[in-house]
Structure 1
Amino acid sequence: MKIVESNEFKKEIESGVTVVDFFATWCGPCKMLAPVLEQLATEMEGKAKFIKVDIDQSSDLANEFKILSVPTMMIFKNGEKIDQLVGFLPKEKIQEVITNNL
């Protein structure tokens, strides 16, 4: 999964469904979530795009989207935020929420 910086974020989310994983390198649950999202990115290729944002590297985005805890996943459709999940969740739950927003 691609880690996106602030300057490319808007371009990445502007079309289609994009799942953004706001994470931090020091976050244990983020490390547990990473392989789950990698699997989903492979399984849902062509339906949804998955990207990551490091809240320490892109604190402006973390502030803009009011990220208070990580991991936080936000789902964007054509540039608009349409859903949000916070914390480590089972793959099936994450997939269900993404599918409901396609």
Structure 2
Amino acid sequence: MGVHHVSDKADFSSQLASAGSKLVVVDFFATWCGPCKMISPALDKMSEELVADVVFLKVDVDENEDIATDHKVTVMPTFLLFRNGQKVDEFSGANESKLRELITKNNCGDSNGCIELTKNEKTGIATICISNYKKRNALNDKLVEQLSQAITQLEEWPTVKTSAYCVT
């Protein structure tokens, strides 16, 4: 689906409701905002990478002042994260790594945890990170499957020099 551009307050409410228990990332932006333009390609990329797990919305604050006001958005870009229609996290700024960190933190569920695979293009270092993992003594099936997929993907990256692993 990619990123959905919210047309009005009814559309915004409908998108939150239809997402159900999926994580929803809302980018409050302005067309005149330089940092908003800088982060936009990264947001598009994340929306394609996480299309099965996360819903991405964009709200133009000039066209939808009522939505921005309702959510007390005064700085652009501001990212609000929702689950089940409730705000679970937020931050302001055009920081891709911070946005990815918040998405990972909030998309891991209560007990299963999740795995994120990242690669630093400049250094060639890849990282597999297990986040929000509470049952450290016995990996559950979902986590094992995610880890297996991440390792397979890591092996397909020809420019990886070093791998790092973390458990948080």
TM-score clears 0.5 = yes
Tell me how many residue pairs correspond in the alignment. 101
Counterpart selection for 2:59 from 44, 53, 61 = 53
Q: Percent identity?
A: 40
Unaligned runs of 5+ in 2: 108-168
Deviations 1:34-57 (A, max 9, x none): 001001101111110101000011
1:52 counterpart SS class: strand
**Paired residue type of 1:33:** I
Give the aligned CA root-mean-square deviation in angstroms: 0.9
Bigger CA radius of gyration: 2
Equivalent in the alignment of 1:8? 11
Equivalent in the alignment of 1:97? 102
Counterpart selection for 2:81 from 70, 75, 81 = 75
Structure 1 residue 92 displacement after superposition: 2.7
The structure whose residues are more often helix, as a share, is 1
d(CA) in 2 for partners of 1:93 and 1:67? 18
Q: TM-score under structure 2 normalisation?
A: 0.58
